[in-house]
Chain A
């Protein structure tokens, strides 16, 4: 083994240590001592596996690369192959990191036993999450990912006018509604939750002092309509 082959050597070094037992009987090289059938089977395997690896990596590349002529032309093939089991997204904090703190709030309309309706004050679901994350070396996905990614999913699956896009848009609405309903209800203040409303506050993170960047420090809001809550949401 040549010591100057960087990657190869790393991957090959372990090889010589443990030869398969069959080496005692057949020479490791595919020569005349192997039967023709064995040689055909092995050659066929190598060909199939080589093609499979090439296709796999090529389709992954086309899926992850920015949209281009080739990937647009074969969009169906690429997505059909990569979804769902090879789906991946490595644009971590790229092209830009998230520069906004998103705080999701919820309130509910509660029906008392006497039939009167009452609206609860806003509660920050995100603040509940943060309280669990602070000082925790291993925060649970329940607080770090659940609501955060659900809200991200919701905004990605809705257009500028707040209309749901297709099946995913519809699913994302139910998901956010249930998260809010589960966090607040089903029973609160001695009554039954009948409706829930969600709003998100977007607070831009100020650029560092040494940066020339200027950002409007004012927070913006996205307020959603009231959603009726049914028993189905608590099953």
Chain B
């Protein structure tokens, strides 16, 4: 019969699929263990969230005692009862003393800034997480979506190798490759010893009230660091390669989780909006513009609200973009069109609703999907601008060395 002939002539689409699949799996496995993927994306998330956190803590500096400290309406007793019920981690629950609070608050600012610069990035990312979780879990009811996102990203960042590029670590590694000796070893060892001793003393004196899980986590991180020291000293290439492979696997998984987390965020935001009558009839955006808490510039909010076309387009556009986002990632071009739209929307929210830190966090979460070529271009422009500034400062200080600066 004709049909049989036809089927005989068409080659099976499944031909050779088994072998291809095998080869693909092997290739993928070697990639996730052999390479640190998305190094620039990891770096931009690191820089973005540490910057957001530092700016936020500096902005709230005059309000710090009312928000997280000793004059907090969410008193120490209330926080103790809530955190005892849900097991939230906060070093601020170890003591209600003013000195301890100031130490933690300013320590969190310092950790944010050092993580931003990428100075001993892994250790700083751990301290950054401790700082962020401690402050946010001290006043669990204070935070908005931006704080929530910062909380999550601070946790995920600990598992990434986010200092491979755009960091003091990377600069030191490059120099060490030329000089043959890593100048950061001393600081690394000192940090490791101090933090270990600090934690041991805090636990031994009963000051640190750590759950078993957290104690295992911190001491685990400490021992892993010790393992790296030991392997570096022994100059065992294979052990070093195994540690590298494990660090890569964990990093790549954490980057996947960060990307998935952003998708989950937009998916939830979008799909729940679809179910709301106000988003269906295109009027939803009208309401926040009239919420007193989110209109610092009433003239601006009202002028935006005066156009029915504008409100309808923004309402539908928001839902469309949020629902479409995870699917748009399947296509590079569509994704690269959608990203700037979302970033622009967040920038507008920053001004119109008076939510700059929320918006900053969202923009840097989006940034995990920026193409590497774009990130490297931005990086080179920033580096060039930095070199120009340095050169100008030098020239002003000492006219004879002008022009001696070699661009990187």
Contacts and interface: CB of A to CB of B under 8 A. Distances in A.
Given A7-B329, A146-B73, A20 B38 contact: no
Contacts of B165: 14, 18
Contacts of B30: 28-30
Interface stretch (A89-97, A189-197, A216-224): A89-97
B104 interface: no
Interface string B323-342: 00000011111110000000
A205 B290 contact: yes
B293 A94 contact: no
Contact of B272 (A9, A21, A94, A141): A94
B199 interface: no
Nearest to B246: A45
A14 B37 contact: yes
Interface string A103-125: 10000000000000000000000
Given A20-B244, A140-B59, A90 B278 contact: no
Given A41-B246, A92-B145, A95-B273, A6 B354 contact: no
A212 to B, nearest CB: 8
Chain B interface mostly = helix
B293 A142 contact: no
Interface residues of B, number: 112
A95 B351 CA distance: 24
Given A90-B268, A98-B291, A49 B273 contact: no
A217 B21 CA distance: 64
Contacts of B373: 13
Contact of A93 (B62, B73, B284): B284
Interface in A63-88: 64, 83-88
B171 interface: no
A32 interface: no
B142 A15 contact: no
A178 to B, nearest CB: 4
A85 to B, nearest CB: 6
B279 interface: yes
A11 B37 contact: yes
A225 interface: no
A94 B36 contact: no
A101 B291 contact: yes
B291 A150 contact: no
B234 to A, nearest CB: 14
Interface string A165-208: 00110010011001100100000000000000000000001111
B36 A95 contact: no
B35 A136 contact: no
A141 B287 contact: no
B81 interface: yes
Contacts of A207: 283, 286
A46 B144 contact: no
B242 A175 contact: no
Contact of A211 (B62, B66, B283): B283
A102 to B, nearest CB: 9
Interface string A127-148: 0011001111111111011101
Most buried by A among B34, B133, B281, B351: B34
B41 to A, nearest CB: 7
A144 B356 CA distance: 12
Given A99-B287, A137-B354, A6 B332 contact: yes
A129 B356 contact: no
A34 B241 CA distance: 10
Contacts of A98: 287-288, 291
Contact of A14 (B82, B273, B281, B372): B372
Interface residues of A, number: 98
Given A15-B31, A96-B277, A167 B351 contact: no
A19 interface: yes
A181 to B, nearest CB: 8
Contact of B356 (A95, A137, A205): A137
B88 A84 contact: yes
A13 B141 contact: no
Contacts of A214: none
A83 to B, nearest CB: 5
Nearest to B66: A142
Contact of B291 (A88, A92, A205, A232): A205
B308 A15 contact: no
A82 to B, nearest CB: 11
A77 to B, nearest CB: 15
B301 to A, nearest CB: 11
A208 B137 CA distance: 39
Interface stretch (B11-19, B222-230, B256-264, B387-395): B256-264
A144 B354 contact: yes
A65 B38 CA distance: 29
B296 A38 contact: no
B197 interface: no
Given A175-B74, A178-B75, A208-B308, A30 B242 contact: no
Given A86-B152, A142-B63, A26 B237 contact: yes
A106 to B, nearest CB: 12
Given A41-B242, A134-B298, 15 more contacts: A11-B38, A12-B31, A15-B36, A25-B238, A49-B250, A57-B264, A84-B88, A95-B276, A99-B287, A126-B292, A137-B354, A139-B296, A141-B142, A206-B290, A208-B311
21 contacts: A4-B332, A10-B38, A10-B41, A12-B37, A13-B372, A15-B36, A18-B164, A20-B34, A45-B246, A46-B29, A64-B268, A84-B89, A85-B88, A85-B151, A85-B155, A90-B264, A95-B275, A99-B278, A137-B351, A146-B142, A148-B293
Q: Which 10 A-B pairs have the closest CB atoms?
A: A95-B276, A6-B332, A13-B372, A22-B241, A94-B272, A84-B88, A90-B268, A25-B237, A28-B34, A15-B35
